[in-house]
Structure 1
Amino acid sequence: MNWLQYDSGFMKAMDKISKIAIVNILFLFTCIPVFTIGMALEGMYGSLIKWVCEKDDRVFHNYMQSIREGWGKAEIGFGILVGIAGILVMEIKIAGSMPVAGKYICTWIACVTGICVFITGLYYFPLVAMEKRKVYELITISFAGGVKCLVYTLLLTLLLGIEIFAFTLTVKLLPIWITVGFAGFGYIQAQIYLWVFERIGVVKRNK
């Protein structure tokens, strides 16, 4: 039975799925305290990007190493982004009781700021795993890179939307999400992050 040989396509696929499952379970476990979500995102993307970029499939080792090296910056960034998002929500609520002109200005400012925060958050956590810089530098590079590579940013946004939409519609398939769901999408996103990071000079992919 050739398909059961170690170097068969089937066994290679099973090996990849098992590694994605390890990352997914680690991600969910790290997310349990909720306030550690930033750290969990950094660990997941760090292990997946290293796997794709350097062909290093020691996913457990790389996950823990990413967290050990960047958990502080990931948590600070997560706190900043969540804090700004909370302020924007409050601003929009307050704008509802303002005159028309004030409501329009406040809503416009909130929307523009929200887009900037979203773009920054989209790239911040993977970047923390790749770059050993200060938080404000990582935030700047995340936003600038997201704007520069707008097509990839739109593609990542589409994937994120599909992930959220699929999760809300497939709660009955919870075992799949627990095993490979989030890291499965993360593996696809890691490919796109590499394209962006290559363009902005953050990483060089091993050929």
Structure 2
Amino acid sequence: MKFNTNSSFFRFMGTLFSFTGLNVLFLITCIPIFTIGPALASLYATTLKYIDNEDLPLVKNYWTAFRKNFKHGSLIFIILAAVVAIIGFNIAFWRKFNSVVAQPIFIILIIVLVLIAFLTELLFPLIGRFENTIRQTYQNAFLIAISNFFQTLLLLAIDASALALVYVSNFARVMFLIFGVAFVVYIKSFIVKRILTKYTA
């Protein structure tokens, strides 16, 4: 019996296997924590390229991008994590007080946290796609996210939906460990690509 390796089934299995390898490598490179930045940047760099070329060797391309983005992505992530930690601490601190002063400060901190969430959606794709200074990367991510508000909101909604699935379903947790994170980023990459195309013409 001869197997047609070009059939839809074999192509699907090949793609699934490639995304599983990509996902596992991504999770492994996230383990030191401070490498989450370059890992996310490299995952976006890979999935954005895969949209244009489905023959792209995902694992090889990811590893190349990871080495390229390691220093820049790590520094940007560490800065982001420090800022979020400071804001989180202040939110926890001020929410304990029910006073005229505490309420507006608490609201402002929540707004800042939301703006950071918007910025983050474009921050790592920009690291993976372009070479800029740390300051320019943050500035571009913020301006692009705000300029494309509804598309960025859709990116956040996809993340929220994925997290909700992981929270309520054991099966979803297993799928995320196997290939889920890479697949979600791949889906988001179609939106990201549409946004970034406006600035690369």
* TM-score exceeds 0.5: yes
What is the rounded CA distance, in whole Å, between the counterparts of 2:52 and 2:119 in structure 1? 22
Percent of aligned pairs with the same amino acid: 21
Aligned residue in 1 for 2:184? 185
User: What secondary structure, in the 3-state scheme, does the structure 2 residue paired with 1:101 have?
Assistant: coil
What is the rounded CA distance, in whole Å, between the counterparts of 1:105 and 1:60 in structure 2? 48
What is the rounded CA distance, in whole Å, between the counterparts of 2:91 and 2:22 in structure 1? 37
Deviation at residue 41 of structure 1 after TM alignment? 1.0
Deviation at residue 53 of structure 1 after TM alignment? 3.4
Aligned residue in 1 for 2:89? 90
1:23–1:60 contact (8 Å) kept in structure 2: yes
TM-score (norm 2): 0.91
Deviation at residue 73 of structure 1 after TM alignment? 1.5
Aligned residue in 2 for 1:10? 9
Aligned residue in 2 for 1:73? 72
Deviation at residue 112 of structure 1 after TM alignment? 1.7
> What stretches of structure 1 of length at least 5 have no aligned partner?
none
Deviation at residue 184 of structure 1 after TM alignment? 1.1
What is the rounded CA distance, in whole Å, between the counterparts of 1:48 and 1:152 in structure 2? 18
2:91–2:110 contact (8 Å) kept in structure 1: no
TM-score (norm 1): 0.89
What is the rounded CA distance, in whole Å, between the counterparts of 1:177 and 1:34 in structure 2? 18
Aligned residue in 1 for 2:139? 140
Q: Deviations over 1:26-49 (max 9, x none)?
A: 111111222221121112111111
What is the rounded CA distance, in whole Å, between the counterparts of 1:54 and 1:175 in structure 2? 28
> What stretches of structure 2 of length at least 5 have no aligned partner?
none
1:73–1:135 contact (8 Å) kept in structure 2: yes
Aligned pairs for 1:105-144 within 5 A: 105-144=104-143
2:45–2:129 contact (8 Å) kept in structure 1: yes
Q: Does 1:166 align with 2:165?
A: yes
Deviation at residue 55 of structure 1 after TM alignment? 4.4
Deviation at residue 54 of structure 1 after TM alignment? 4.5
RMSD across aligned positions (CA): 1.9
